[in-house]
């Protein structure tokens, strides 16, 4: 009993002593003095002004702690604010203090606002706070040299709590700025020793919410446990969730890392899994990607050697509604050298796609690529075009087409990156155009894309040339030579026009610029040339029209619309065009057939989609299949044919009035020649008679 009594008395004495110590501590603690000392030390050591609006408060139970309110800190040697803090509290365990050990129980920060600047010389505005002594030399030469070994930093914090924080990162060299708001952080125990190169984190939770360009974003990081040591590192599954929610679009991303192990020089991740669920308008995209990961901290390299996954794209306007792309490949990056290599293969239905990308610089982006596709029909993945309403250019479809042609073209994506590469496609169909053995070399630099050489096989012929697109002024130029091409299926697939038949050559050298397609059509300039053999002009049968010519002489001009199934055959056709302000002008049309010769001149207005052309057909022979004997009786006669109207409703007008006038002139000339011949014959006869009389014969 006495022993218990003595123990009780001892405990009471200790409590009394502790109470006395607490009382003395409170009595000796001077908040104003602490505030002044902290401000003085910050100004002397870091040349920054520290302001603490409230009086520091001391707490001693259950832990010894200090609380601060209204804290602000300026930039170095400046009055500009670097950081402000609504409140902060740091507490340490009481009992370890008796053993001269400091164990931080909690670090709590509320309302932190800070701006970090990366200067043009590459240094950070907070480098002095991080222990970079090169900033201190100018102010205190007595300080240790930068090469002097630093004392190891040991951190042991039971928990960290940060709420309602805001950070701004500004890169003066790149001219970019990023702001993050509503950031919160909570952890379990955090331990680190820079001397031993070890770190351990228990239960780290980080969340960020904010808004950028009127789009809300949300980021959440969950690290249950992470241990980093010089000899071995490990961790439980790390999860990173990110979401974006904007007008008409949203996206959710989940990144999971499992099986993390390694050491201070590097670590490996047994499995990286990335999931994507995105919505843009009516289109949805879902994807997944997985691979093991290897990271070398010393060399600053990252490798994903076995990428596998898939991408699912759905849209109600697509003919197949949904498209699935299997993915396989590899990725490696060197962060120190800013380089990366990607190999990615996929299959689109029966189309196999192989790609290689070599990034030589991250910012501004510079890369080279090699893309090969064995066959691809892009049209099967595009929504069907609306049927023409009311034909021609009227109706809803015409209005929609006109509106689409007036939509602004934005080529700003060409500015910034430097890209070079090769594209090879075995068979390709796009917008109805059918190509094969497409080979193109691309170069993008300074906002200009050059595709040269550009070669392909198409419609039993070949094409070779170059294409250039410049974001400055939305300028486009095309040089292309088509040889041995079937012109009719080409025009039907490309222009949806059934105007010509034949096989031959086409030479294009055109350029244009403008804010939208309609303006580009009206600004088209350059030259073009056409040379065809064994073809036909579609829509009119000149032989049939000439056969009925006798009955129409003296009548008014005859106009007819182009008729499907009617055509005028030719053995040769050639023409050249000078193009200016969207109008192609021609003066040297030459068409030959066994019974007719055709010449002409006129304009084809590409900008307005119409033409006004006067062709002159001259009968030079006869062919049973082209008009027979009736036509042969018109040998030498020239018939003017005017082609005019919009491309969708071309009309052919036989100008008989002009032809009759020409015919009358021809008859007068013929009569003159006949009279001249008669007079000449009479004169010759008279001369002969006179000569006979003189000679007596």
Q: Which of 337, 358, 373 delimits the end of a domain?
A: 337
Which secondary-structure segment (H or E) carries 675? helix 656-695
CA–CA gap between residue 540 and residue 561 (Å, rounded): 8
Tell me if 416 sits within 8 A of 363, measured CB to CB. Answer: no
- What is the span of the domain harbouring residue 60? 23-140+151-195
Beta bridge partners of 290: 273, 308
Residue 214 is assigned to a structural domain of this protein: yes
Taking CA 635 as the corner, what is the angle to CA 629 and CA 640, rounded to the nearest 5 degrees?
115
DSSP-derived 3-state class of residue 516: coil
Cα separation, 695 vs 117, whole angstroms: 125
User: Exposure pattern of 573-603 as b/e (b: 16+ CB <10 Å)?
Assistant: bbbbbebeebbbebeebebebebbbbbbebe
Per-residue pLDDT tens over the stretch 271-283: 999 999 999 888 9
**Buried/exposed 177-211: b ≥16 CB within 10 Å, e otherwise:** eeebeebbbebbebebeeeeebbbbbbbebbbebe
* Nearest one of 178, 183, 179, 180 to 165, comparing CA atoms: 183
Residues 191 and 307 in one domain: no
User: Does any domain span residue 408?
Assistant: no
Q: How far apart are CA 579 and CA 478, in angstroms?
A: 13
- Nearest residue to 315 (alpha-carbon basis) of 285, 287, 288: 285
Q: Is-cis flag, bond preceding 53, omega within 30?
A: no
Please count the structural domains in the chain.
2
Same domain assignment for residues 269 and 234 = yes
Q: Are residues 167 and 212 in the same domain?
A: no
Residue 585 located in a structural domain: no
pLDDT at residue number 459: 94
Q: What is the pLDDT of residue 306?
A: 95
| Ranges of the chain whose pLDDT falls below 50 | 1-29, 135-146, 388-397, 554-556, 623-630
Q: For the chain, what is the total number of helices (H) and then of strands (E)?
A: 9, 37
Residue 311 inside a domain? The answer is: yes
Q: Is residue 488 situated within a structural domain?
A: no
**Which phi and psi (to 5°) does residue 649 adopt?**
-140, 60
On whether both 75 and 189 belong to a single domain, the answer is yes
Q: Report the DSSP pairing between strands 558-561 and 238-246.
A: unpaired
Q: How far is residue 614's CA from residue 586's CA, in Å, rounded to a whole number?
A: 10
Beta pairing, strands 198-212 & 233-235: unpaired
Ordered DSSP codes for 395-409: HHHHHHHHHHHTSPP
Cross-strand pairs, 63: 93
* Statement to judge: residues 173 and 299 lie in one domain: no
Residues 6+ apart with CB under 8 A from 194: 152, 153, 154
Asked if 650 and 500 count as a contact pair (C-beta separation under 8 A), the reply is: no
The pLDDT tens digits of the residues spanning 409-448 come to 888 888 888 999 999 999 999 888 999 999 999 999 989 9
| Final residue in a domain of this structure, among 337, 361, 396 | 337
Does residue 111 share a domain with residue 220?
Answer: no
Length of the chain: 697
Same domain? 41 vs 190: yes
Residue-level pLDDT at 305: 95
**pLDDT value of residue 612:** 92
- Residue 437 has a pLDDT of 96
Closest CA to 662 of 613, 617, 621, 606: 617
The reported pLDDT for the residue numbered 564 is 63
266 shares a domain with 174: no
Q: Give the tokens for residue 609.
A: 């989609």
Please check whether residue 284 lies inside any domain of the structure. yes
The answer as to whether 82 is a domain residue is yes
Cβ contacts of residue 684 below 8 Å, gap of 6+? Answer: none
Q: What is the pLDDT of residue 28?
A: 43
pTM of the model: 0.67
Instruction: Identify the CA nearest to 106 among candidates 83, 88, 130, 124.
Output: 88
Q: Please give the distance of CA 140 from its chain centroid, rounded to a whole number.
A: 52
- Beta partners for residue 423, in sequence order: 371, 440
| CB neighbour list of residue 278: distance below 8 Å, 6 or more residues apart | 249, 250, 251, 252, 284, 285, 286
Same domain, 272 and 240: yes
CA angle 544, 548, 552 (to 5 degrees): 140
Burial class of 292 by CB neighbour count within 10 A (0 to 12, 13 to 18, 19+): middle
Using DSSP, state whether 146 is helix, strand or coil: coil
* 347, β-bridge pairs: 352
Q: Name the domain boundary from 195, 229, 260.
A: 195
Looking at the structure, tell me whether residues 226 and 316 fall in a common domain. Answer: yes
187 and 215, same domain (yes or no): no
DSSP 549-585: HHHHTTS--EEEE--TT-EEEEEEEEEEEEEETTEEE
The residue written with tokens 């365990």 in the block is 93
CA–CA gap between residue 656 and residue 662 (Å, rounded): 10
Do residue 68 and residue 88 come from a single domain? yes
Q: Using CB atoms within 10 A of its CB, is residue 311 exposed (0-12), middle (13-18) or buried (19+)?
A: middle
Rounded CA separation 87/220 (Å): 24
- Read off the tokens for 176: 């970019």
Q: Tell me, yes or no, whether 242 lies in a domain.
A: yes
Q: By C-alpha distance, which of 169, 178, 241, 179 is closest to 206?
A: 241
Q: Within its chain, how far is the Cα of 132 from the centroid?
A: 41
- Cα separation, 289 vs 147, whole angstroms: 45
């Amino acid at each position: 009993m006495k022993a218990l009594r003595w123990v009780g008395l001892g405990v009471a004495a200790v409590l009394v002593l502790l109470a006395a110590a607490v009382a003395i501590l409170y009595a000796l603690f001077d908040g104003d003095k602490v505030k002044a000392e902290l401000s003085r030390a910050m100004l002397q050591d870091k040349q920054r002004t520290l302001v603490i609006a409230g009086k520091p408060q001391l707490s001693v139970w259950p832990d010894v702690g200090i609380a601060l309110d209204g804290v602000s800190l300026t930039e170095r040697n400046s009055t500009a604010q670097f950081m402000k803090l609504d409140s902060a509290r740091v507490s340490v365990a009481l009992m370890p203090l008796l053993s001269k050990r400091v164990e931080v129980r909690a670090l709590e920060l509320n309302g932190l606002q800070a701006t970090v600047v990366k200067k043009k010389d590459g240094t950070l505005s907070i480098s002095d706070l991080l222990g970079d002594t090169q900033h201190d030399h100018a102010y205190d030469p007595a300080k240790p040299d930068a090469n002097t070994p630093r004392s190891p930093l040991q951190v042991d914090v039971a928990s960290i709590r940060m709420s309602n924080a805001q950070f701004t990162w500004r890169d003066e060299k790149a001219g970019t700025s990023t702001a993050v708001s509503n950031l919160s952080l909570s952890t379990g125990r955090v331990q680190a020793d820079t001397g031993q190169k070890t770190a351990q984190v228990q239960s780290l939770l980080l969340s960020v919410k904010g808004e950028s360009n009127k789009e809300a974003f949300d980021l959440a990081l969950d690290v249950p446990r992470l241990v980093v040591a010089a000899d071995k590192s490990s961790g439980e599954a790390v999860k990173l969730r990110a979401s974006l929610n904007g007008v008409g679009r949203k996206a959710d991303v989940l990144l999971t890392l499992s099986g993390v192990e390694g050491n201070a020089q590097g670590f490996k991740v047994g499995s990286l899994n990335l999931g994507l669920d995105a919505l843009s308008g009516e289109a949805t995209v879902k994807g997944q990607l997985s691979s093991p990961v290897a990271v070398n901290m010393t060399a600053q390299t990252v490798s994903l050697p076995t990428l596998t996954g898939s991408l699912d794209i759905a849209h109600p306007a697509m003919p197949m509604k949904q498209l699935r792309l299997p993915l396989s490949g590899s990725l490696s990056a060197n962060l120190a050298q800013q380089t990366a290599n990607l190999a990615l293969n996929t299959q689109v239905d029966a189309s196999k796609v192989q790609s290689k990308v070599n990034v030589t610089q991250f910012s501004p982006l510079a890369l080279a690529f090699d893309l090969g596709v064995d066959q691809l029909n892009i049209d099967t993945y595009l929504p069907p075009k609306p049927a023409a309403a009311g034909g021609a250019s009227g109706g809803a479809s015409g209005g929609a087409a006109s509106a689409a042609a007036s939509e602004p073209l934005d080529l700003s994506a060409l500015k910034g990156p430097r890209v070079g590469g090769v594209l090879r496609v075995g068979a390709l169909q796009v917008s109805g155009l059918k190509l094969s053995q497409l080979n193109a070399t691309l170069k993008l630099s300074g906002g200009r894309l050059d595709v040269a050489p550009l070669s392909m096989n198409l419609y039993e012929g070949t094409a070779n040339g170059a294409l250039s697109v410049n974001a400055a002024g939305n300028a486009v130029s095309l040089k292309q030579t088509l040889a041995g091409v079937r012109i009719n299926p080409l025009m039907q697939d490309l222009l949806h026009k059934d105007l010509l038949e034949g096989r031959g050559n086409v030479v294009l050298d055109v350029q244009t610029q403008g804010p939208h397609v309609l303006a580009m059509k009206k600004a088209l300039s350059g030259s073009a040339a056409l040379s065809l053999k064994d073809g036909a002009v579609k829509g009119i049968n000149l032989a049939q029209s000439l056969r009925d010519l006798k009955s129409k002489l003296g009548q008014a001009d005859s106009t007819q619309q182009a008729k499907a199934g009617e055509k005028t055959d030719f053995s040769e056709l050639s023409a050249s065009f000078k193009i200016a302000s969207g109008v192609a002008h021609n003066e040297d049309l030459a068409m030959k057939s066994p019974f007719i010769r055709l010449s002409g001149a006129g304009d084809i207005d590409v900008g307005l989609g119409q033409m006004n052309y006067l062709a002159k057909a001259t009968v030079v022979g006869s062919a049973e299949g082209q008009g027979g004997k009736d036509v042969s009786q018109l040998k030498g006669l020239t018939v003017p044919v005017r082609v005019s109207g919009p491309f969708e409703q071309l009309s052919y007008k036989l100008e008989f009035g002009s032809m009759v006038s020409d015919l009358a002139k021809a008859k007068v000339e013929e009569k003159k020649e006949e009279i001249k011949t008669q007079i000449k014959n009479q004169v010759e006869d008279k001369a002969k008679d006179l000569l006979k009389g003189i000679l007596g014969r």
